[in-house]
Structure 1
Amino acid sequence: MKRGFALYTGGKDSHYAIYKALEEDILVDLLVIVKPVRSDSWMFHTVNIDLAVKHAELMGLNYLLIEVSGVKEKEVDELKRKLSRVRELSDYEVVVSGAVGSTYQKERVDVLAEELHMRHVTPLWGFPPSKLIVEEASNLSFVITAIQAYGLRMDWLGNVINASNVHAFLKDVEEASINPVGEGGEFETFVLSSPLFKRGLLYVRKAEMVTYPNFGVGYYLIRDLGTSTSS
């Protein structure tokens, strides 16, 4: 079994990529959480990013929180410099990411991995987005933490998506003509339950809703999370 680290956001795709990597005999034992200083990063997730460390705790994994500028292209170089040290001190062979269809993101991580003498593994790459989100919701539950596409109903913000309502969500997403997995930032998510969580499930104790209806934009900012051992 090959060892690797994952570029991790706490969202459904980066999480599910770790789950699917196991099917390729790849064990992720480090979460690399990238925190951009700017909120308009081209590469990296920003909403509730600090909470991704909670997933490391529930999965029993180590994590590395890396701060980058958030400036296009520069942020990737900053990440590479910081990961070079990790590579020198470890025997990691692969970098796992949750890229699905974004050539911009995949190509940059391809180059990053090559320069670190590692292999970039993308278990979700090329998966039909409408099928992927249904499969993800059949195995995980995740809350919608951002809506950033005009046309998607704002009442989905803060809702937990799982097998019971994913088809209704998908219908609205497709009617709004946006990417079914939200890979372009049309919506963002945070995972609350997963087979990978060994130490309980998460629930939101406190959150703040910030919306800009005229722009079709809203954020569900999680202020406090609780852990439950029951499903």
Structure 2
Amino acid sequence: MKKFALSWSGGKDGCLALDVLRKQGIEVASLVTTVPAEIGRTFGHGEKKELIKLQGEALGIPVHFIECTFEEYSQKFVQELKQLKERNQLTGIAFGDLYFEPHREWGEKVAKEVGIEAVYPLWMEKKEALHALQTFVESGYKSTVIRVREDVLDESWLGKELDHAFLNAIQQKDVCPMGEAGEYHTYVHDGPLFKKKILLQRPEVIQLETTKKLEYRNYFLLEK
């Protein structure tokens, strides 16, 4: 049986990738999340480690954090992925990227160095992004917008659920519907593969570089 690690930042893309892998009968032995030592938050989404740990617990999949600096990102990723490969007998690593070619090239290079397969279960053409968002909206997973790029989306988008209203509204903006260029990021808190759901409370908006982020002060698991 194939056994994979999955690159995980806590959002809709990784969650969809996990769903596809599980439907293909692939075991996901570990969620892999990179955390820059300089910031102590996840790369890309800027999420707190505690909220990623909560997702792992809710899904019943261990989370492996790779702590690294920007300079040693690739080197540390390869090094720790080799350890995960030995520990979990991994045969591959999956990524939730959609169509950004440089990300795929990087992931395939890393996997080759580790000696495992690189898989992109969501890979598509750019024009298919709207259909991918519709697939997520109808998947049963619950996800909230937790970060926006200020040059394209204002803070009124923070806290929006990825539902049919969001699907309609995002089409009125000049952005990738799936936010592939970092226009927005999400946090998944419930869905078919979740053994427990995550309750998020007391949100407040904080500033991170050129983005605004929704920060939750209270968060905990609930039985389903």
TM-score interval for Structure 1 and Structure 2 normalised by the shorter chain: 0.7 to 0.9
Q: Is 2:111–2:117's contact at 8 Å kept on the other side of the alignment?
A: yes
What is the deviation of 1:209?
Answer: 1.1
2:65 alignment partner in structure 1: 65
List alignment gaps of at least 5 residues for structure 1. none
1:176 aligns with 2:177: no
Give the direction of change, closer, same or farther, for the CA distance of 1:175–1:38 in structure 2 (3 Å limit). farther
The answer to whether the 8 Å contact 2:45/2:147 transfers is no
Give the aligned partner of residue 161 of structure 1.
162
* C-alpha distance in structure 2 between counterparts of 1:6 and 1:178, whole Å: 26
Matches within 5 A, 1:104-143: 104-126=102-124, 128-139=128-139, 140-143=141-144
Cα separation, 1, equivalents of 2:129 and 2:86: 36
1:207 paired residue number: 203
CA deviation profile, 1:28-63 (whole Å, cap 9, x unmatched): 021111112356x9x942421411111111111222
SS state at 2:35 partner: strand
Identity level (%): 22
Whether the 8 Å CA contact 1:2–1:26 is kept in 2: the answer is: yes
Segments of 4+ in structure 1 off by > 6 A? none
> 1:216 and 1:176, CA in 2 relative to 1: closer, same or farther beyond 3 A?
farther
Q: Would you say 1:221 and 2:222 are equivalent positions?
A: no
In structure 2, the CA distance between the partners of 1:117 and 1:187, relative to structure 1 (3 Å rule), is: same
Q: Distance in 2 between matches of 1:152 and 1:6?
A: 29
Q: Give the alignment's Cα RMSD to 1 decimal.
A: 2.3
Q: Displacement of 1:216 after TM fit?
A: 7.9
Q: Is the 8 A contact 1:35 1:49 kept in 2?
A: no
The answer for the alignment partner of 2:149 in structure 1 is 148
TM-score normalised by L of structure 1: 0.85
Kindly provide the amino acid, as one letter, of the partner of residue 5 in structure 2. Answer: F
Q: Distance in 2 between matches of 1:150 and 1:176?
A: 12
SS of residue matched to 2:177? coil
Q: Which amino acid aligns with 1:221?
A: E
Report the equivalent of 1:81. Answer: 79
CA distance in 1, matches of 2:38, 2:11: 19
Inter-partner Cα distance in structure 2 for 1:124 and 1:80: 23
Distance 2:44 2:152 in 1: 21
Offset, 1:178: 0.9
CA contact (8 A) 2:3 2:89 kept: yes
Q: Is the 8 A contact 1:152 1:173 kept in 2?
A: no
In structure 2, C-alpha distance between the alignment counterparts of 1:177 and 1:60, rounded to whole Å: 37
Label 1:106 to 1:156 Cα distance change in 2 as closer, same or farther (>3 A).
same
